[in-house]
Structure 1
Amino acid sequence: MINGFKEFIMRGNVIELAVAVVIGAAFTGLVNAIVTGIFNPLIAAIFNADSLAKSMVVPFFSGELSFGLVLAALIQFLLVAAVVYFAFVMPLNKLKENQARRRQAGVPLDPKKNPVTDLDLLTEIRDLLAAQSGAVSPVAATDAPAPFAASAGTESPKHTL
């Protein structure tokens, strides 16, 4: 029973959700301060009221309808949605697009799986220089082992810097 709970808690999604809740709570305080300290007084000044909650109040039978309070909540929602979109959603979408482009180009997403060695880079540089000058690489002219043999110069580089 304890092991099952431990496995559940240690899954990535649960931990990420917990972090999101904590950040969301802190972010809510920041947005509330901005809305009550800046936007509410500005909008309340437009409607000649002390606060947005006290503006646009319409008497309704035995109570009152507070449209200003709804407007304040709407402004707060729009601010939160805008910040979440521009701070989290948009960068994440760009990251996914970059990963998709890298996959299509054949570049490994995890460089640790296919580490580039100094020898690979030096071989690639030598082959590119030989292709540019039109000369045959001295290693290509001999019967060198496969890792040191020069390419024909027509293929694209294996690694990008």
Structure 2
Amino acid sequence: MIKGFKEFILRGNVIDLAVAVVIGAAFTGIVNAIVTGLINPLIALIFQADSLNEIVIAVPNVRGGTTDFAIGLILGAIINFVAVAIVVYFVFVYPMNRIKERAAARAGVTPADEEPKLPTEQELLVQIRDLLEKQGPVSRP
């Protein structure tokens, strides 16, 4: 049992995942600081609020009061997510894809070589028809 656990932990993808989680957590702090310190104040200027938390929509309820919907919090979370996704794409994904493309080009592998072209449905049906014709007529009991 211990041996199996050791093999599981020492797999490359588990270690890579652990590193990604740690880097992602640290990186999220940076993105949150940028969103909180720069983007949120810019949006708050547009909506004339001191912070996104103050941007609410008050909807009257049946008891005569109002219910506040914190649109600013939702907007902030969306901005934060998009900011993280953009930075992760342009800092990690795009450069890694470019490195892989260059390595493949140096090795002489083209994208067409990597994935074989699968036959279309019509081509498969033609192949099936031809095979059935080769077998000849089928006798029925």
TM-score, with length taken from structure 1: 0.61
1:102 alignment partner, SS class:
helix
Partner amino acid, structure 1, of 2:58: P
Within a 5 Å distance, the mapping from 1:99-138 to structure 2 comes to 99-104=103-108
- Whole-angstrom distance in 2 between the partners of 1:26 and 1:86: 17
How big is the shift at 1:63? 2.2
* Higher-RCO chain (CA-CA 8 Å, sequence separation at least 6): 2
C-alpha separation between the residues in 2 aligned to 1:63 and 1:30?
A: 34
Q: Which amino acid aligns with 1:79?
A: A
1:66 Cα offset (Å): 1.6
Counterpart of 1:93? Answer: 97
Alignment of 1:7-26 (within 5 A): 7-26=7-26
Residue aligning to 2:53: 53
- Aligned structure 1 segments of 4 or more residues deviating by more than 2 angstroms: 60-63
* Superimposed CA distance per residue, residues 37-80 of structure 1 (whole angstroms, 9 cap, x where no aligned partner): 1111121122111201212x111325211221111111111111
Q: Flag structure 1 segments of 5+ consecutive residues without an equivalent.
A: 106-161
Structure 2 stretches lacking a partner, 5+ long: 110-141
Structure 1 residue 16, shift from structure 2 partner = 0.5
**SS at structure 2 position matched to 1:6:** helix
The Cα RMSD (Å) is 1.3
Residue identity (%)? 62
Pair 1:63 & 2:67 matched: yes
Q: Equivalent residue for 1:44? A: 44
In 1, the alpha carbon distance for the partners of 2:35 and 2:106 equals 41
Q: Give the aligned residue type for 1:69.
A: L
For the residues of structure 2 that align with 1:70 and 1:83, how far apart are their CA atoms?
20
How many residues are paired up? 104
Q: Report the structure, 1 or 2, having the larger helix content.
A: 2
Which structure has the bigger radius of gyration? 1
Please give the alpha-carbon distance, in whole angstroms, between the structure 1 residues aligned to 2:105 and 2:48.
Answer: 54
Amino acid at match of 1:97: E
